[in-house]
Amino acid sequence: MRSKTILFIMLSLGINNDFFAQSGLTQVSGFGSNPGNLNMYTHIPSGISSAAPLVIAMHGCTQNAGMYAIQSGWNKLADRHKFYVVYPEQLSTNNSSLCFNWFDTLDVNKNQGEALSVKQMVDYMTSNYAIDPSKIMVTGLSAGGAMTVVMLAAYPQIFNKGAVMAGLPYKAATSSFASFSAMNGSVIKTPQQWGDLVRLQNPGYTNPYPHLAIFHGTLDFTVNSNNALELIKQWTNLNNADQTADSTINSFQGNAAIVKTVYNDNLNNPVVYYYKITGMGHAIAVDTGSCPRKGGATGTYAIKENNFHSTYWAADFFDILTSPYLITGAISLFENATNNVYSVPFLAGSTYTWNVPPGATIISGQGTNSITVNFGTSSGNISVTETTSNNCVNDVAELFVTLTAITSIKSITTEEAILYFSKDDNSITTKGINLIELKSIKIYTISGQEIIQNYSIQGNKIIFSFTLKTGFYIISLSNSENTYNVKIAVI
């Protein structure tokens, strides 16, 4: 085996097997031909009953898989939200400082060396567990962060998203000598040049490239934070976006040290996130504790940042965090629907922070477990975050609400059809519409909320199995050619 020089100047942490006793990891052998000569460790949560996400998490130099599992806190999130984690591990026979060889063309090109070994770990998981193929993610710190970008570049058809902690762009260096200039932030390229280095790995690939989240400290003297800016160039170019931030959040989540910028593609979808962490050195940011958004453990390369746990926000970016409970309320309404109630279970002492789509207004209930909303014309998420009495901030619960324009109503004239509602048998009598040809029959309140109903058809009658209260309703009748939305009055 070839041995590599030390490429990240770090203090030795005295790696030992105690980390594995604490980490909850299981070693897997025989996962493939393993041309990169890596170890594979897994964390398999109990209670996974359907296809679940997979996260590949790669350690930094002088670390091992168990150490990174404990410091990053990925296992805690996996247990809570039910996804699998794989920890590739470097061997000293490959690199004397235990760095993944992100700079060596024998290890970073598609289907070669360490890149292929990690890909074979993914293949092992998809062959032996029910993995959601749309949610295979990769993340890592330092050399593991650089190797994260290698996997996204070599296998964009496999990975959906990546999160880089203090890493570098793909092929920022292609030799051990050149790696020092790259780490110092001295390698500058145009977005097109950076993007082309990735595109050469998969000539003819036309599908979307993975999205990327970048986490980097401004006082990183091991991997200069200029690399974060070069990563932005590379992955915005690959994702049809420019290099101008579309949104900036200062004091993210109330933390003055965190600035989050988001870059959207040409369809206005967010594709690259950058979390700039002021004052932090070469490390991952953790926020130790037992609350849902806290986790990890401090160490030489894991620094406590108040109210900011980078692993949690990487998982949030990956969209693999499950809602703590369901929001009840209508999911399909007409535009400008009023007095719509949304609720979550009540917990004594908790406060609830709600957010609504653009143009919507919370007219009552903010701070409580139940709100009343007047909508505008934009569909979007109703979301709520619970803060418990012991000041724990829970995971976000979301419900997407689709709004439909009432202007799409097609009036039915007396020449076309007649709809007559009878309270005697809760029926609508029709004329001019063949009920047998109807594909759907729906009924909405005048505010646009769909009423769940059962009905039967008898001749030219639609008979409902429930009683309509006095008021106005919209009946929606659809056949293969038209949808007729008709306003009726129940008096």
Which positions are annotated as active-site residues?
142
Give the burial class of 14: count Cβ atoms within 10 A of its Cβ; 0-12 exposed, 13-18 middle, 19 or more buried: exposed
CB-CB contact of 283 with 13 (8 Å): no
Q: What one-character-per-residue DSSP string does 233-260 give?
A: HHHHHHTTB-SS-SEEESSGGG-TTEEE
CA distance to 227, 361, 446, per residue, from 216 (Å): 9, 36, 51
CB-CB contact of 146 with 102 (8 Å): yes
Residue type, 442: K
Q: H-type helices in 30-142, by residue range?
A: 65-72, 74-81, 105-108, 113-128
Say how far apart CA 362 and CA 51 lie, in whole Å: 36
CB-CB contact of 421 with 460 (8 Å): no
Phi-psi region of 349 (alpha: psi -120 to 50; beta: other; left: phi over 0): left
Closest Cα partner for 384 from 406, 404, 362?
Answer: 362
CB-CB contact of 417 with 431 (8 Å): yes
Give the burial class of 124: count Cβ atoms within 10 A of its Cβ; 0-12 exposed, 13-18 middle, 19 or more buried: middle
C-alpha atoms less than 13 angstroms from C-alpha of 350 in its C-beta half-sphere: 19
β-pair partners for 384: 354, 397
Give the burial class of 270: count Cβ atoms within 10 A of its Cβ; 0-12 exposed, 13-18 middle, 19 or more buried: middle
Closest Cα partner for 215 from 281, 150, 159?
Answer: 281
Distance of CA 112 to the CA centre of its chain: 29
Say how far apart CA 115 and CA 137 lie, in whole Å: 15
Give the burial class of 362: count Cβ atoms within 10 A of its Cβ; 0-12 exposed, 13-18 middle, 19 or more buried: middle
CB-CB contact of 268 with 262 (8 Å): no
Which structure tokens are listed for 454?
A: 């059962």
CB neighbours of 12 closer than 8 A, spacing ≥ 6? 62
